[in-house]
Amino acid sequence: EVQLVESGGGLVQPGGSLRLSCAASGFTVSSNYMSWVRQAPGKGLEWVSVIYSGGSTYYADSVKGRFTISRHNSKNTLYLQMNSLRAEDTAVYYCARLVAAAGTKSGAFDIWGQGTMVTVSS
Amino acid sequence: EIVMTQSPATLSVSPGERATLSCRASQSVSSNLAWYQQKPGQAPRLLIYGASTRATGIPARFSGSGSGTEFTLTISSLQSEDFAVYYCQQYNNQYTFGQGTKLEIK
């Protein structure tokens, strides 16, 4: 079964750090384009970051310089290292697989995890 | 950044009737447009990609249309399980989502 399971969320103080994990099963993370998408409480969806199969990474302006996306190939796991956290980073964080249109590096998100909640508060 | 605007914010429709949801892009996104359904406490589910292609396992009552800046999601005959929040998303230039349309029972 194709599945994504996130972990690592929790309560952290402003300025603190947290690392989220996303374990995949049924497919290979390193052969796919993978993303993080977040959703603040009661709000809409916001794309955060993407890592392509070749290893290149991209970030939303709101997290650039503070967040780092990475993967561990042998563990088939995606990560999001979050530093210098702010109150506005409070959200449910989803990992998702990106299914790219032929010949492109962009597409829709076809597989989603259940999400992990990150709360930034003192 | 491409801004996606969905309308209406809330749509009240009776079961069995047709629902039409709109999504407008601030600049052309070609056909690089997806629709998602999200129920409370759940992750989003991909319904439509490429503006009009149904994702695997999505019932035929869901259809998408449009290109450029104007897009529509139509649900032909609403079932009880269809009442949810719907998001459009462009992937022509990075990734941005609309603010969502809540489809509620009339």
Question: Shortest CA distance to B55 belongs to which of A111, A44, A28, A29?
Answer: A111
Q: B95 vs A35: CB contact, 8 Å cut-off?
A: yes
Q: Is A11 in the B-facing interface, judged by CB distances under 8 Å?
A: no
Q: Which of B35, B56, B91 to mutate to test the interface with A (most CBs of A within 10 A)?
A: B91
Tokens 């996606």 label which residue? Answer: B4
- Whether the per-residue pLDDT at A76 is higher than 90: the answer is yes
CA distance B1 to B46: 22
pLDDT grade for A100, boundaries at 50, 70 and 90: confident
pLDDT at A104: 83
Render pLDDT for B60-99 as a digit per residue (tens, 0 to 9): 999 999 999 999 999 999 999 999 999 999 999 999 999 9
CB contact under 8 A, A47 and B96: yes
> What is the reported pLDDT for A103?
80
| Strands of the A67-72 sheet, one edge to the other | A3-7, A18-25, A77-82, A67-72
According to DSSP H, which parts of A52-118 are helical?
Answer: none
Residue of A44, A50, A94 lying closest to B100 (CB–CB): A44
| pLDDT tens digit sequence for B6-63 | 999 999 999 999 999 999 999 999 999 999 999 999 999 999 999 999 999 999 999 9
| Chain A CB contacts of B99 below 8 Å | 44
